[in-house]
Amino acid sequence: MKNNKILGLLCLFTAFWSCGNDDEVMVELTQPTFTITESAENSGIYNFENTTPDKEEFYSYWEFEIGDAKVADQAGPVEHEYKISGNKLVTLTMVSTINALQATQMVEVIVPVAEGYLTNPENLLLNGYLVEGDGDDFTNWSAYNGGDNIFSTTDALIGGRAVKVSNAADADPWTVQFVSDAIETEIGEEYTVSFWGKGNGEVVRFSTKPDGSAQYGPDYTLTSDWQQYTWTITANEANTNISLDMGKSAGTFVIDVIEVVKGDAALPLPSDSSLVLNGGFEDGDGNEFANWGKYNGGDFIVEETSDVLSGSRAVKVSNSAAGDAWSVQFVSDAIETEVGAEYEVSLWAKGDPAVIRYSTKPDGSAQYAPDYTITEDWEQYTWTFTANEAMTNISLDMGTSAGTFILDDVKVNKK
């Protein structure tokens, strides 16, 4: 598919240039080259510069990781900020009238913890992303056995910190145990436990505590690439600890992103992927948020940087008095929607008891969700609507109630 797209671009540029002056000397495209420079202030930000000779004569674009959006090249360096740690394959594509060439480089990205990180809010485990703690200690986790074999590492998938296990010899699984604080579980209900790991053939399993009612998962064999491993249980206790039993194999391996969610399916890696842009509110400066507009009551809508659900920024709304729902409106850029198709909108919110609702724009064909009452704990609020326009803005109508509340992680996806 990628080759077909590049061929299409090549044909387009060939047609364009063929209309020019036949006497012009065509510049030959040579193998693209580029440099990568890490920001000194933030290890999640990189500058990429196309160093190919005569680059201005050609159409060029970047892809900063596999499946990422294409970004047109420019004069000088192009800056890109990564939100999630990992090995990223960077591709520079250049197109001439007769051919298209690519250059690729791998960059190992470690996103600093202080810059925020994405999470799955549905995760029931505290510190499941292993970011909190000092040295080789991890908040909300205990080494029941084999603590000397458990270390922290910056070779992480998310958040810049993970667990590294180094076993000198094969032993029983329970000789190295990494155990979560207890979580509330409903007896008889299904829960899915998961972690991401990489190693060299080492074996890891899940188990639960208390010991008298323990359940044991199957053995999982780690590979050299990050991979998710999942196990579904039926809860048999009102409070359950999740244990990673990791003593069976000699070797060194890494564990990250440990999650427990209700139901029989694990979650994918935390992501801000959504049809609506900047739904996590990370992009923007001060009290301004890229891809969002303050249609009414803009003075009441500000940045929140301490009490956030994920990442490093959220939106705080402080209404001095109750009013009409539309008197405080925070509206997304328009997204493409298929008329007649269903879409689900969701957000997470917490704060003083307050009423908010969703609506859509344009105004002439607006649809309105029911009222949702925010509580003091983070909770997700969802609404499904059938698109009636080819382009739709999502509006958060928040003027009904006096009080202060926080919003984060707005997503829109086609059902």
Ordered domains of the chain (ranges, CATH): 2-109 (2.60.40.10), 114-262 (2.60.120.260), 292-414 (2.60.120.260)
Residue 273 CA to chain centroid, in angstroms?
Answer: 7
**pLDDT computed for residue 85 by the predictor:** 64
Mean of the pLDDT values across residues 103-122? 78
Q: What mean pLDDT value characterizes the chain?
A: 90
Q: Give the position of tokens 């972690």.
A: 195
Mean of the pLDDT values across residues 381-406? 96
Mean of the pLDDT values across residues 255-274? 91
Percent of the chain with pLDDT over 70: 91
Question: For the ranges 30-34, 217-221, 266-270, 289-293, which has the lowest average pLDDT?
Answer: 266-270
The residue type at 244? L
**pLDDT computed for residue 27 by the predictor:** 81
Strand order in the sheet with 86-95: 71-72, 59-63, 86-95, 100-109
**20 pLDDT higher than 90:** no
Strand order in the sheet with 150-153: 150-153, 162-167, 251-262, 190-198, 227-234
Question: For the ranges 17-21, 104-108, 246-250, 252-256, which has the lowest average pLDDT?
Answer: 17-21
**pLDDT computed for residue 12 by the predictor:** 47
**pLDDT computed for residue 361 by the predictor:** 92
**pLDDT computed for residue 411 by the predictor:** 94
Pick 25 or 311 by higher pLDDT. Answer: 311
Put simply, whether the predicted model's pTM sits higher than 0.75 gets the answer no
**115 pLDDT higher than 70:** no
Residues contacting 273, CB < 8 A, separation 6+: none
pLDDT band at 15 (very low <50, low <70, confident <90, very high): very low
pLDDT band at 17 (very low <50, low <70, confident <90, very high): very low
**120 pLDDT higher than 70:** yes
**pLDDT computed for residue 183 by the predictor:** 97
**214 pLDDT higher than 90:** yes
**pLDDT computed for residue 64 by the predictor:** 94
**pLDDT computed for residue 234 by the predictor:** 98
Greatest mean pLDDT range, 19-23, 134-138, 333-337: 333-337
Predicted confidence (pLDDT) per residue in 26-77, tens digit:
788 999 999 999 988 766 789 999 999 999 999 999 999 887 789 999 999 9
Predicted confidence (pLDDT) per residue in 143-199, tens digit:
999 999 999 998 999 888 999 999 999 999 999 999 999 999 999 999 999 999 999
3-state SS of the chain? Answer: CHHHHHHHHHHHHHHHHHCCCCCCCCCCCCCCCEEEEECCCCCCEEEEEECCCCHHHCEEEEECCCCCCCEECCCCCEEEECCCCEEEEEEEEEECCCCEEEEEEEEEECCCHHHCCCCCCCCCCCCCCCCCCCCCCCCCEEEEECHHHEEEECCCCCCCCEEEEEECCCCCHHHCEEEECCEECCCCCEEEEEEEEECCCCEEEEEEECHHHCCECCCEECCCCCEEEEEEEECCCCEEEEEEECCCCCEEEEEEEEEEEECCCCCCCCCCCCCCCCCCCCCCCCCCCCCEEEEECHHHEEEECCCCCCCCCEEEEEECCCCCHHHCEEEECCEECCCCCEEEEEEEEEECCEEEEEEEECHHHCCECCCEEECCCCEEEEEEEECCCCEEEEEEECCCCCEEEEEEEEEEEEC
